[in-house]
Structure 1
């Protein structure tokens, strides 16, 4: 597809989403969520349009997108594996779990495996502190992880 056509499609859909939601109280977060749902990520080209339509600076919109770890600036893999990096998980062996995830997938944080199947992301608390270390695969929580259970989760994601 032509890059200009793609940019035009992003702009057209972005403006439609903003028009639908701009009358909400505090519309920025709902708009960003809708953009991510539409495209699988928040396209960089959408940010100036959102800023202009909401009478915000580009920096304000960019700051919100980069502050919340749920927003992506690039397409993710078919599955998302989040590894908890918070203190309780770190105290219970989370650093080894994280290294095992990176090594097993052959990627670093915020990267996607070459086959497009798994994106690896850090998260700073899944609320499973009592059964740390923890991870989340596509919204499904897993606690009391060790390298073997993490390997099983990764195998599931790679199918």
Structure 2
């Protein structure tokens, strides 16, 4: 897992994303999404580039990025497992499921396994309240999770 990307590489790659989206109406969120898609997170070196291109202050860009929980400021594992922490999932055993996942992975929320395979993140509602408890692995939703199915999901992510 590359924890440092050269500033020149960030400038070139982020610049391409910014240039392709800066003429959109309301471009800040799409640009942040595009940069995160490009790098797997939003490098700090990209924030002043975004600010300059959109005629915003660095503080404004940083404020938007940190307000939305979906943006990351650090690299993730090869797979991202998001566990729903909303009330419906909690009422259907989500807390016990979260404890099980943490035990299986040996990490807590906002951490990545030592082998770099999985990052565990909490989310507050995946929209699967009727299928609680729920999780998302690499953008794919999973509902009605049990100890057995979550163990299979974790095993899949560890491969």
TM-score by length of 2: 0.91
> What is the match of residue 36 of structure 1?
36
SS of the equivalent of 2:6 reads helix
Q: C-alpha separation between the residues in 2 aligned to 1:37 and 1:58?
A: 21
Is there any run of 5+ residues in structure 1 with no aligned partner, and where? Answer: none
Deviation string, structure 1 residues 95-117 (Cα, Å, up to 9, x no partner): 11111111211111121111111
Question: Could you give the per-residue CA deviations for residues 81-106 of structure 1, whole angstroms, max 9, x where no partner exists?
Answer: 11000011111111111111112111
Stretches of structure 2 that go unaligned for 5 or more consecutive residues are: none
Question: Partner of 2:10 in structure 1?
Answer: 10
Q: CA offsets, 1:127-148, max 9 Å, x none?
A: 1111211111112222122222
* SS state at 1:83 partner: strand
Distance in 2 separating the partners of 1:137 and 1:21: 28
* Structure 1 counterpart of 2:25: 25
Q: Distance in 1 between matches of 2:128 and 2:31?
A: 30
CA distance in 2, matches of 1:59, 1:91: 38
Aligned to 1:125: 125
1:102: which partner in 2? 102
Aligned residues: 157
- What's the secondary structure of 2:145's corresponding residue? coil
Q: Secondary structure at the match of 1:120?
A: strand
1:19 partner SS: helix
Please list, as runs of the form range in 1=range in 2, the aligned pairs for 1:74-85 lying within 5 A after superposition: 74-85=74-85
State TM-score, norm by structure 1.
0.91
Distance 2:86 2:100 in 1: 17
Q: Which moved more, 1:97-106 or 1:5-14?
A: 5-14
